[in-house]
């Protein structure tokens, strides 16, 4: 059984190694996702309630982080990264992390989430091309890989280019 909980200080070294391992053989990786997590934790866009770990049999096997995005005062989030230990990938850990994080994000009043990722994976959790919501990336990317989900059905429409936390280096 998967237990999803908020990351605590004692988890940080384990999460660092987990993210590093998860992205070591990833098709699209810049090789510094583990360092990005450390940098994001120190930044103003960090939301402790949306830094979650997944445990199975007492071992941390997955991690997800959402940080604040800027776009005309709307309450937007960026999902980055989602990491699962290679031996636990394709077992539902990532999907469970996304679902729980979305619940928490809704409770916190966030309206949208965006993700840069696989067009085969993220649509399973409700993500569609961000352009369908009027959300643009601040970088060149295929429409199918820059996705968004409307977390609050009552959220007003948005339009424009998102601004990521400075730690992303964009």
Query: Helix H segments across the chain?
Result: 12-24, 33-42, 93-107
What are 29-70's pLDDT values in tens digits? 566 889 999 999 999 999 999 999 999 999 999 999 999 999
User: Is the distance from CB of 143 to CB of 114 less than 8 angstroms?
Assistant: no
- The domain over range 2-168 is classified in CATH as 3.40.630.30: yes
pLDDT at 72 over 90: no
Bridge partners, residue 147, by sequence: 115, 129
What are 128-156's pLDDT values in tens digits? 999 999 999 999 999 999 999 999 999 99
Closest CA to 75 of 155, 129, 161, 169: 155
pLDDT at 93: 97
Domain map of the chain by residue range? Answer: 2-168
What are 80-136's pLDDT values in tens digits? 999 999 999 999 999 999 999 999 999 999 999 999 999 999 999 999 999 999 999
- pTM over 0.85, yes/no: yes
């Amino acid at each position: 059984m998967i237990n999803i909980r908020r990351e605590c200080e004692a988890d940080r070294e384990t999460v660092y190694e987990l993210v590093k391992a998860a992205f070591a053989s990833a098709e699209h990786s810049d090789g510094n996702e583990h360092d990005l997590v450390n940098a994001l934790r120190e930044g103003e866009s960090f939301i402790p309630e949306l830094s979650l770990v997944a445990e199975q049999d007492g071992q941390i096997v997955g991690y997800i982080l959402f940080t604040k995005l800027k776009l005309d005062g709307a309450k937007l989030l960026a999902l980055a990264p989602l990491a699962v230990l290679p031996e636990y990938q394709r077992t539902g850990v990532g999907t469970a992390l996304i679902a729980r994080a979305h619940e928490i994000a809704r409770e916190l009043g966030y309206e949208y989430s965006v993700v840069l990722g696989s067009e085969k994976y993220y649509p399973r959790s409700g993500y569609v091309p961000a352009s369908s919501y009027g959300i643009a990336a601040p970088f060149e990317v295929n429409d199918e890989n820059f996705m968004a989900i409307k977390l609050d059905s009552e959220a007003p429409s948005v339009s424009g280019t998102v601004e990521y936390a400075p730690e992303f280096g964009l």
